[in-house]
Structure 1
Amino acid sequence: MLQDISSSRWTLTATTTTTVDNHSSSSSPNSTNINQTDIYGGCNPILFQLGNFSRDGPNVVNSICPDTWLVFSFSMTFMTCYVMVLILCSLGLFYKRNGGHLKSRGIVNIIMTLIADSAFIILICLRFIIGRRVYPCGLYIISYFVLPPAILLPSILRLWRLIFMNRLNALKTCMIHHEKHVSIQKQQPSSFNMNVMNNKNSSSSVPIQNDVVMELKETSPRSTTNHCNHGVNNSSSSNHLSSSNHHSSSNHNNEGTCVKTLENDTTLKSEVTTMWWNNVEFSSSQQQKHKLYTLFVSNRFIICVYFVCFLFHILLYIFFGAIEEGMYQSLQGGGGGMNSSNNNNSGRFMMGSNGGLFIYDRGCVLTNQIIILVACESLFYIIISIILLIICFRIQKDTWFIKRESLILVAIQFSAIILFAICGFVPVFTKITDFFIPYGFVLMSYSFSEVVLCILMPVIYQMKLDSKNGTGAHTTLEPHTSFHGTMTSHSRKNAIRTDLERFLDNRKTFELLLDFAKRSYCPESVLCYKDIERFKSSLKHRKSISLHILKTYLKPNSPLELNVPKISQIHDEIMRSIVDASTLQNTMVPSVSSTMLIPHTATTLSSSSSPTTTTPTNIPPNLFDHIQLHCLHNMTDVFERLKSQSKQARKILQEWKEEEFGSNSGGDGVGITMNSVHGVVSTTITTSHHHHETSIPSSTTLLSSGVIQQDNMNSQTSSPLLSSNNNVAREVCSTDNLSTTTIQSKEFKKKTMWNIFNTLCLMYR
């Protein structure tokens, strides 16, 4: 029955068209064109000759031409694909919300982008799926009123956030380097400091073999601290040693360091690096800039911008709709209402007689007035986008590929807008192809590509990075064991360092890692790690450095606040520890100097004396160990991405490995490792064939750490230091106390042991 009705309708329409055509054939050509236009309603005649392929039949309703089933199929396929991508993006955002690729883009910004694009795509696709003649006119018009923010606002805020994230992190790190040089210049004038500055200016470096790095700091009640500089001289193989006893004094730096170095490394723990610490205090203008930049990249700002923009366009729609409806009602004399029939002669000034902004009972098409209004709205956003795009070209490239994808999307966006405008002015697109594949899909394709490039791809990047770190992150923390010895728990702490720690200790690679962390928007961990290293190696300024670390990194809302759980609680606990240590120091009675072993990357020995302004405090050196471990954990991801993105970093690591392999396979060197002598400390003694230099722990270190115990005979001697030196000589020369001994040249070994004995004797003298 339905088929008969449909056939009769087709017959009636065809008969009418034919009648009109036959009648018009006897008329003038101008009359023929007018009559055809009236019959087809401005539609192309091809749309009335499609038969069953036509969805609406050969008729025109409310100036809407008949659609084809291809529009329905294409819209359904497009929307199905988008919904699948939407589900994948939602799941990826939920499971990878803590990933670096997503956090760097801003989770809230990503969610708002997803909502804006989804609203635009779903509303337009539903119009084509439901049917242009049935889809509510008001809902269709409001989707075009919010089209400018839905299309342009996500890219604008992406560029905006990229620019101010770059400026914010530049503000965090730009003063660091300036303060570094200022603090070096403020050091006390001494011959040692002048030598260090000269070494820095000449870009000299101290090569090592990555086995042992020791820093010796010693203070006694009757002497100041001596500075021991164990350097490497290419023309000689002797070590320049210096020590202090209870009856000596010197004019060296009060906070000297004695650094023993070995060979075959690019640079390590430059004295210049350990002389400065990040005691940056932002000025009032810098604090205001920091607050302003932080506000501009905050989630609150992103949400407010979206809310204000969409609310403004919705209110604009209500404003024009109210004016249109009011004018229409006044012209009709109060009759007709919102759902007036099409027989009225006068229409609405925005939509004409076939629709209205507040008409929701039938479909409609866009008019020139709506197109001009939407174009004016879009022009404002386009100008802002162009300005931000120009600024974006001048900033540094980030490590999360945000700048790259933003530039690609802006290019696609402008191309889509231009193509959409061209299609709107070409009759072949508006009268024919729009009813097969609507040209509105040009803008929807851009929104689809934005979701894929800015949301789905970062999720894939993060999944790939997590899978790589699942097997690679552990290898990053694996130590590089020396060929000359075996690894123990103590030797790993004192002698064996990871690639990441070597990057942090090396001045050049530290700058490389800091720059990469800045472009990754996370320089706080790198700077905090360096300040904690300074805290450990300092005696005189330990309290001031600890307070600076608390104020800069562990205070809530500080400029360089670390992303640490329960940071307020940690801040209060560390502050109590500092106060307790200071109180204990003030109540202490000066006595014989006591020594303390400081465990960190380099074995450090210090001794405390009376609490004065020039003596060390009782603050434990491991006060920030858990914070430093947290920083290392945060930097692991940065370091892995640095190795994958930087050819320079990979080249440096390869050179280090080749140097280690070359030194380990050399035939002229001797490596001796003492592992856990008396179960306390593991020390590696390595001699290289290049400089014939031997590095061993000093007698003071061995005594204070309890490595060598004096026997009954030595305990009765008049000079404890001489007894300890004899003990050291016997322990070093005795092969029974060596757990691992590698001998490649017997004659060279004898010479090496003799040099060790002579060195210990010189230390006693």
Structure 2
Amino acid sequence: MNEGPSSWISTGLISILSVLQTTTNSTSTNTTSVCDPSLLKNGTEKEEYGLCPETVSSQAVSGILLGTYLIFVVFTIASVIKTRKVPLVKYREVAVMIGALLLTGLFAFIFILRLTVGRKIFPCFIYMLTYFFAAPVVFFPTLLRLWRLIWMSRLNKTRVELFRLEESLIKKGGEPRRKRETVQVQPSTSSGNVSDVEDSPGTGSGIVLFNTTTVTDTDSYDEDSDDTDSDAGSVTMEMDDSLSTSSGGVTTDEKLNSLDPNQGIRRQMSKASGLHKSVLANAISTVTQEELAKYIALETRIVRIQHVLKWWFYLAVTIVFSFLHLLIWLICGLVETFYLSSYPDSTKFTVTADFFVFNHGCGAGTGTLITVAVQGLSYLVAILVLLIFTLREDNDTWRIRVETFTVLILWVLWIVAYIIAGLIPVVGSLTDAYFAYGLILFFAVVTDNIVTGFIPAVRAIAELISVYSKQKGSVKRNKDVEEEEGVTTVEKGALIKMLRDKKMFDILLAFAKQSYCPESVLAWKEIQLYKRKSNVKARRKLAKNIQNKYLKSDAPMELNLPSKFNKEEIGKTIDDVTKPLSKDFFNALAKHCEQDMMDIWDRLRKKDKRVQEFVTNYQKECEAKKNNAAKTAQPNV
């Protein structure tokens, strides 16, 4: 009979854990000893609880490793917390990094502590509890990393898609309006005149939500100018009370109903959140139900994805999984204590049926091996599924996916080494007493911690030191030159020119998306749209959109702003209709976005030859302008 892949994996896991049983120096219930005679010392040492005698050297080595590992874990966690705002750490999710370090650290700590104090002394109760958490320690952090990779990729894809949709609608709203037929809304018995409402001739999908008069063709759309009184450029604006207040005796809701007998637009509007409930309510251009439905669907998707990427979501999932494994441990212990202990020849979870014993140690039985093997197989299946989804997503620029694959490969290598060591008879019966080969799994945990925690944290510290050194050197060289005074560095000038170039902007945005931080790029672009608005009313509505999307807590594209940005005051200024908003209102925010993009731009410049060529050409232009200015300044001879 042919065995499938699942059977192979299951058999392999049981073999691994069978070797782990040998590591604990457990034995079968028969009288045959698995311990080397030299360890018994002519009867002065004996085999107890299914465990062989241990040597002082083994305990000393384990103690040294225990102390060193504690220092290592504390340093790594402190470094992660210190560098939590550095992109290298930030986009790996601090909660996931610290959670993985604590989970694997606690497991390794108990594992080494048992070897240090003595396997015969360490309570069986705690040892079995730790054993039942072996599978989640090995696989759960990887599961969370893959989960986060998938949803971070999808979140930023959706953000960019939402921005592209808005951009197209803004351009559509600014297109020259052609002559249209008007549809007269019948006034109610209690009202006087009612405004005309437009509809595209011959179609039921095109909806215009506010009254207009018949117009003729105007000049072609110019993205850099907006001198009309139209609010068409403001696509995602705050909901006004106009959707529920009457106008000439007919409410806007009634207008929407009169335009669409099936109330499709109204139903879609009702699904929108408070941030974008009037997505196109003030647009003069035609809005289709499909466009509105797509916009609301994208916005809803962003909000939902943000929920599954919050730290509390990971905490909740970890608690649920921990409770599940704790419940399995408790059930197995109760089954052995009250049922299997009555049958001496039955398969047990501990060698000597001491599952809940606290005053001495024990060895893991076959039942424990099978249970943990099934758990491990379940995690492996989940990891393989997530791996398939991960490979379908864009590769991240932080190399988190590569890091995750590396950890999986290293775990496989360590486990293979562990199995090979366990298959050598002399290792299990003799050398394990002097140097526990179970430490191979400890080194596997340490390797995991180094790759996923220590290296990113150290790189982030190095980056902080580098940034501090550059800033300090810059201040020494240019004490009198401040960016706030209008002097722009060549690097930032190249970045701004790149943002204004459509092709290069798309390259930067794609790279930012794969870096999980397109917010600054998108916010900067919308601020430029805001500056182009000469109409005061349109500018205020676009300002409200920027506030809702980038500044509010839990906004779809919330920016990570320093404390100097008083979001409450910004909101009050935008809401104060008595004072017009200047075109420079968001200048400080634009500069923050530019500064925030410098890291992304610098990494992109090092990787992309097109960007390198673009920057080189810009530097040549700057140098040529500087030379021309110097020549012009020279007095005529």
Counterpart residue number, 1:391? 389
Counterpart residue number, 2:37? 45
CA distances 1:661-689 after superposition (whole Å, capped 9, x unpaired):
35655xxxx548xxxxxxxxxxxxx9xxx
Counterpart residue number, 1:159? 146
Q: Judging changes above 3 Å, is the alpha-carbon distance between structure 1 residues 420 and 374 closer, same or farther for their aligned structure 2 residues?
A: farther
TM-superposed CA distance for 1:169, in Å, is 0.9
TM-superposed CA distance for 1:173, in Å, is 0.7
TM-superposed CA distance for 1:189, in Å, is 4.3
Letter in structure 1 aligned against 2:305: Y
Partner Cα distance (2:463, 2:436) in 1: 40
Q: Are residue 624 (structure 1) and residue 586 (structure 2) matched?
A: yes
TM-superposed CA distance for 1:80, in Å, is 2.7
Q: Judging changes above 3 Å, is the alpha-carbon distance between structure 1 residues 489 and 114 closer, same or farther for their aligned structure 2 residues?
A: closer
Partner Cα distance (1:57, 1:84) in 2: 37
Letter in structure 1 aligned against 2:392: R
Pick aligned residue for 2:400 from 399, 402, 409 = 402
Pick aligned residue for 1:553 from 528, 545, 550 = 550
Partner Cα distance (1:496, 1:115) in 2: 41
Counterpart residue number, 2:573? 577
Counterpart residue number, 1:126? 113
Q: Are residue 446 (structure 1) and residue 444 (structure 2) matched?
A: yes
Partner Cα distance (1:458, 1:491) in 2: 36
TM-superposed CA distance for 1:461, in Å, is 1.3
Counterpart residue number, 1:513? 508
Name the count of aligned residue pairs: 506
Letter in structure 2 aligned against 1:661: E
What's the secondary structure of 1:360's corresponding residue?
Answer: coil
Counterpart residue number, 2:409? 411
Matches within 5 A, 1:65-144: 65-144=52-131
Q: Are residue 653 (structure 1) and residue 545 (structure 2) matched?
A: no
TM-superposed CA distance for 1:352, in Å, is 5.9
Letter in structure 2 aligned against 1:455: G
Q: Judging changes above 3 Å, is the alpha-carbon distance between structure 1 residues 107 and 38 closer, same or farther for their aligned structure 2 residues?
A: closer
CA distances 1:302-343 after superposition (whole Å, capped 9, x unpaired):
1111111111111211111112211267x4xxxxxxxxxxxx
Q: Judging changes above 3 Å, is the alpha-carbon distance between structure 1 residues 254 and 487 closer, same or farther for their aligned structure 2 residues?
A: farther
TM-superposed CA distance for 1:90, in Å, is 2.7
Q: Are residue 170 (structure 1) and residue 168 (structure 2) matched?
A: no
Q: Judging changes above 3 Å, is the alpha-carbon distance between structure 1 residues 652 and 619 closer, same or farther for their aligned structure 2 residues?
A: same
Counterpart residue number, 1:310? 322
Pick aligned residue for 2:467 from 441, 466, 469 = 469
Letter in structure 2 aligned against 1:316: I
| Residues 476 and 636 in structure 1, CA contact (< 8 A), matched pair in contact too | no
Q: Judging changes above 3 Å, is the alpha-carbon distance between structure 1 residues 417 and 295 closer, same or farther for their aligned structure 2 residues?
A: farther
Letter in structure 1 aligned against 2:92: R
CA distances 1:433-489 after superposition (whole Å, capped 9, x unpaired):
433333322322221111111111111111121122224468999999xxxxx9998
What's the secondary structure of 2:339's corresponding residue?
Answer: helix
What's the secondary structure of 2:91's corresponding residue?
Answer: helix
TM-superposed CA distance for 1:298, in Å, is 1.2
Pick aligned residue for 1:503 from 487, 498, 518 = 498
What's the secondary structure of 1:283's corresponding residue?
Answer: helix
Partner Cα distance (1:512, 1:153) in 2: 35
Partner Cα distance (2:425, 2:404) in 1: 33
| Residues 531 and 583 in structure 2, CA contact (< 8 A), matched pair in contact too | yes
Letter in structure 2 aligned against 1:375: A
Counterpart residue number, 1:180? 167
Bigger Cα displacement from structure 2, 384-393 vs 157-166:
384-393
Partner Cα distance (1:545, 1:460) in 2: 42
Partner Cα distance (2:377, 2:133) in 1: 14
Q: Judging changes above 3 Å, is the alpha-carbon distance between structure 1 residues 443 and 38 closer, same or farther for their aligned structure 2 residues?
A: closer
Tell which structure's C-alpha radius of gyration is larger: 1
Counterpart residue number, 2:311? 299
What's the secondary structure of 2:54's corresponding residue?
Answer: coil
TM-score (norm 1): 0.59
Letter in structure 1 aligned against 2:467: N
TM-score (norm 2): 0.70
Partner Cα distance (2:606, 2:623) in 1: 23
TM-superposed CA distance for 1:254, in Å, is 8.4
Counterpart residue number, 2:264? none
TM-superposed CA distance for 1:184, in Å, is 3.4
| Residues 552 and 558 in structure 2, CA contact (< 8 A), matched pair in contact too | yes
Matches within 5 A, 1:264-275: none
CA RMSD of aligned residues (A): 3.9
| Residues 124 and 357 in structure 2, CA contact (< 8 A), matched pair in contact too | yes
Partner Cα distance (1:46, 1:511) in 2: 72
Partner Cα distance (1:374, 1:496) in 2: 56
Matches within 5 A, 1:283-294: 283-294=295-306
| Residues 643 and 649 in structure 1, CA contact (< 8 A), matched pair in contact too | yes
Q: Judging changes above 3 Å, is the alpha-carbon distance between structure 1 residues 648 and 479 closer, same or farther for their aligned structure 2 residues?
A: farther
TM-superposed CA distance for 1:557, in Å, is 2.3
Q: Judging changes above 3 Å, is the alpha-carbon distance between structure 1 residues 137 and 574 closer, same or farther for their aligned structure 2 residues?
A: closer
TM-superposed CA distance for 1:409, in Å, is 0.4
Q: Judging changes above 3 Å, is the alpha-carbon distance between structure 1 residues 428 and 171 closer, same or farther for their aligned structure 2 residues?
A: farther
What's the secondary structure of 1:498's corresponding residue?
Answer: helix
Partner Cα distance (2:358, 2:482) in 1: 78
Unaligned runs of 5+ in 2: 1-28, 178-216, 226-231, 237-275, 280-293
Q: Are residue 523 (structure 1) and residue 518 (structure 2) matched?
A: yes
Letter in structure 2 aligned against 1:291: V
Partner Cα distance (2:614, 2:409) in 1: 37
TM-superposed CA distance for 1:257, in Å, is 5.0
Counterpart residue number, 1:606? none
TM-superposed CA distance for 1:150, in Å, is 1.4
TM-superposed CA distance for 1:405, in Å, is 0.9
| Residues 348 and 355 in structure 1, CA contact (< 8 A), matched pair in contact too | no
Q: Judging changes above 3 Å, is the alpha-carbon distance between structure 1 residues 487 and 320 closer, same or farther for their aligned structure 2 residues?
A: closer
What's the secondary structure of 1:430's corresponding residue?
Answer: helix
TM-superposed CA distance for 1:88, in Å, is 1.4
CA distances 1:587-633 after superposition (whole Å, capped 9, x unpaired):
xxxxxxxxxxxxxxxxxxxxxxxxxxxxxxx4211222232233233
Counterpart residue number, 2:22? none
Counterpart residue number, 1:431? 429
TM-superposed CA distance for 1:38, in Å, is 8.2
Matches within 5 A, 1:151-230: 151-189=138-176
What's the secondary structure of 2:633's corresponding residue?
Answer: strand
Letter in structure 2 aligned against 1:544: K
Letter in structure 2 aligned against 1:641: R
Q: Judging changes above 3 Å, is the alpha-carbon distance between structure 1 residues 45 and 321 closer, same or farther for their aligned structure 2 residues?
A: same
Partner Cα distance (1:388, 1:488) in 2: 46
Unaligned runs of 5+ in 1: 1-36, 191-249, 259-274, 332-344, 481-485, 585-617, 673-685, 687-739, 747-765
Counterpart residue number, 2:540? 543
Partner Cα distance (1:46, 1:63) in 2: 17
Matches within 5 A, 1:730-741: 741=633
Pick aligned residue for 2:332 from 303, 307, 320 = 320
Partner Cα distance (1:254, 1:508) in 2: 20
Q: Judging changes above 3 Å, is the alpha-carbon distance between structure 1 residues 478 and 364 closer, same or farther for their aligned structure 2 residues?
A: same
| Residues 278 and 527 in structure 1, CA contact (< 8 A), matched pair in contact too | no
Letter in structure 2 aligned against 1:67: E
Q: Judging changes above 3 Å, is the alpha-carbon distance between structure 1 residues 478 and 526 closer, same or farther for their aligned structure 2 residues?
A: farther
What's the secondary structure of 2:312's corresponding residue?
Answer: helix
| Residues 169 and 235 in structure 2, CA contact (< 8 A), matched pair in contact too | no
